[in-house]
Each structure stands twice: as structure tokens, then as C-alpha cells.
Amino acid sequence: MKLAILFHRLGPYHHARLQAVADRCEVVAVEFSRVDKTYAWMLESSERPYPVTTLFTEQDVAAADVSEVKRRLTAALSELGPDAVAIPGWSTAPALAALHWCAATRTAAVMMSDSTAHDEPRKWWREAVKSRVVRMAWAALVGGGPHRDYVTALGMAAERVFTGYDVVDNAHFAAGAEAVRRRADSGRARLGLPERFFLASSRFIEKKNLPRLLEAYDRYRRGVGARAWHLVLLGDGPVRGRVEAIIQGRRLGDWVRLPGFQQYAELPTYYGLAGAFVHASTSEQWGLVVNEAMAAGLPVLVSSRCGCAPDLVADGENGYTVEPTDVEALAAAMQRVAADDCDREAMGRRSREIIARWTPETFARGLQEAAAAALAAPCAPNRLPDRALLWALMRR
């Protein structure tokens, strides 16, 4: 089987998944853009065990003309000639263009998705259109339980839905964390980190809920006094100015650190030196940073709005699920996990046990099973109205 796997931009997380699939079947990767405005990943030039086709090398595909997107993607897939195509989502122009090509050529389409029913307020008419689009795919690879429920509610046959989409290279984070723990003092000195701290890592955007996280941290700190852990917030983005203003207004300058965006190679060091991880988003399809923290052996405090929470967080065992708008509850969870009588080592071990079921090999197995199910499914109808709908959605 020749499988084309499509992503917006290939970064470290995608490479680990693609390498695992390449061990199982013939893989060709299609990257929509070589650059984007979302993640400041360094450009990589290392050789990969699979060919990569890039549609746009100098601009983000999101800024490209949709006709040119469709033309380039159609040409790339026609030249590659895959047996099945794995498509990331159902809303962007390149994803819709890929589904359009699959419909026109009767090529098996696997929808990759980590959307849930509760990501955002849903409108019935949008869900009706989305359902029609989803039913054009032949199978699906989704994140976990909530994502499986949503895609089946949209019309995908349950027997053609597989899980394992959202994974990271666990070994990268585990090994890096253990290495820095063996030289913790020098690691902290190099990065200017305190001895004990909560770690958060995210883009600085509204849905990451950083103002409430800072309010909760301030309540925690005031409650325990001088024994309080510090807070380290990794990342950057448009609300950084607001975050800095809150830190100044609450007089948290000596307690909160903002190291900025960190490259993939440096992340395990921060996880390894942290005492616990907190992710308080008000909306999150999955939350791969939780995978990273668990692979590094940390207790995790995770928002109930994160798609990963039902699958990855066992309350009281490896962390706690918290309501992201309940500042008092979030502060209490921070106090609980930082308490002297909390067995954080046991919680960290439990995190590793749980995340061991979510690896790049999990992704590879799930995608291979989804592709096989798609190829075995009855041929999807090649209806002109369906293709017309996709084209209209591309141009909206």
C-alpha cells in the first residue's frame, strides 16, 4: 500500500509519526507549507526515510490563492499516485482540495481529526454541512474517545474509525528529562530556573486561559506563602503583553518566569526540571503538551475542556482534571500536587504508564488500520454536487 500523508507543515511531531508509518508501508508526505505563522520551529534539513513534497516553500498556504492551492495539490497527488490519502481535518482549503481529488479519482480518503463536539459552540446548519463533508471520507483516524464519538455522530461508520492520531515521540521527552535530572543544578543554572516550579507551555492566545492561570497561581502562592513553587510559562504570542501586565499588576515578577518559545530540542530540559505540569485551556482539541509532560514523568493538571483529558488523566493517579473557569479549584489543585505529602514520583510513574499506550507506533498502527478499512469499504460515490460543495467551501 502506498499511503500519502498530508500535514500543514512538517515539524518534529509529524516526523516521529511519519517515521513510524514508514516502518509499516510505503509513505509519501505532502507538506502544504514550509513556513507558517503559528509555530517558530527551526527549518530542518535532515534526511527522512520517506519522500516529502512541499506545495509552498516561501509562504503560508493559508495566505495562498485557493485556485493555486487546488492546482498544486492536485498535481502533487496525481504525480504521487497513492492508494490512500490521509487528510488533516475538514475545514482548510488544502484539506478540502485533497478530499476533492480523492472524490474525483475514487482514491480512498482517511480523515485525520481531533475535533470534539465541545471544542466550540456548534450551529446546526454548520454541522449539517460538516456531516456531508465527513461522509465523503472512507475512514477516520481520530485522537481518542471524545473525537471518535464526534466523528461518528457526524456520520462516519463506527467500524471505520480508529484512534491514535495525537501522539508525540515519548522517548525524546523521557530521555531528555532523565538526562537533565542527573545534573539538575547545572541545568537550572543554565536556564535561570528556580528549584521548584509548575510548568505550562502554550501559545499565548486567548483560549489558553493564561490570565485565569495566573490568577489561580496567585491564589495558590498567597495561600502557602514562602513555600510556594514558582511558575514558568513557555511560549509566546499576541496576548503576551496582557500576561506581562497581569504579572506586574499582581506583583508576581519574582515568582513567574517567561522564557519565551522553546525549540523542540530544549523542551525536555524544562519538563525534567519541573515539579508538575498545568494546562488550563478553555478549548483544546487535544493538547499534545500533556503527552510531552507525561512522557517526561510529571503529574499533570489538565483542563476538562482539553480533548486529551478523558484518555490521559486518571484523577488522583497521575494528576487532576480541573474546570478551567474555576480559579479557586485550579488553585486548590496546584496546592494539592505541590504539597509535601503528595507522592509526585508515583504520579509521574503513572503518567508514563498511561502515555506508553500513545506513541508514534500507536499512530502508525491506527492509520494503517484506517487505510486498510478505507480500501476495503464500498467505493464512495463520485457525486458532482459533493465536489461542488467542496469547491464552494474552499473559496468561502
- First CA to last CA distance, the chain: 34
- C-alpha closest to that of 220 among 186, 184, 185, 196: 196
In a shared domain, residues 90 and 23:
yes
CB 130 within 8 A of CB 99: no
Give the structural domain span for 136.
Answer: 2-167+359-394
**φ, ψ (nearest 5 deg) of residue 296:** -80, -5
In a shared domain, residues 349 and 363:
no
**What is the C-alpha separation between 52 and 40, in angstroms, rounded?**
20
pLDDT (0 to 100) of residue 323? 97
- What does the block give as the cell for 338? 505541590
**φ, ψ (nearest 5 deg) of residue 70:** -65, -40
pLDDT (0 to 100) of residue 44? 60
User: ∠ CA(123), CA(129), CA(135), 5° rounding?
Assistant: 125
In a shared domain, residues 264 and 308:
yes
In a shared domain, residues 319 and 377:
no
HSE-up (13 A, CA, CB side) for residue 279: 32
In a shared domain, residues 192 and 124:
no
In a shared domain, residues 158 and 196:
no
In a shared domain, residues 27 and 160:
yes
Return the SS3 of 27.
Answer: strand
In a shared domain, residues 197 and 284:
yes
In a shared domain, residues 174 and 97:
no
In a shared domain, residues 328 and 386:
no
- C-alpha closest to that of 55 among 86, 94, 102: 94
pLDDT (0 to 100) of residue 36? 74
| Tens-binned pLDDT, residue by residue, of the chain (396 aa) | 999 999 999 988 899 999 999 999 999 999 999 887 766 666 565 677 899 999 999 899 988 999 999 999 999 999 999 999 999 999 899 999 999 999 999 999 999 999 999 888 888 888 999 999 999 999 999 999 999 999 999 999 999 999 999 999 999 999 999 999 999 999 999 999 999 999 999 999 999 999 999 999 999 999 999 999 999 999 999 999 999 999 999 999 999 999 999 999 999 999 999 999 999 999 999 999 999 999 999 999 999 999 999 999 999 999 999 999 999 999 999 999 999 999 999 999 999 999 999 999 999 999 999 999 999 987 665 666 777 888 888 887
Predicted TM-score (pTM) of the model is 0.94
**What is the C-alpha separation between 312 and 285, in angstroms, rounded?**
13
Q: Which H/E stretch holds residue 52?
A: strand 52-56
User: How many domains does one find in the chain?
Assistant: 2
**What is the C-alpha separation between 250 and 206, in angstroms, rounded?**
19
In a shared domain, residues 308 and 387:
no
Q: How far is CA 275 from CA 11, 293, 300, 355, 374, in A?
A: 27, 10, 10, 18, 44
Is the CA virtual torsion 11, 375, 100, 49 positive or negative? Answer: positive
Which domain CATH number covers 70?
A: 3.40.50.2000
In a shared domain, residues 91 and 146:
yes
pLDDT (0 to 100) of residue 391? 82
Q: Which H/E stretch holds residue 147?
A: helix 145-153
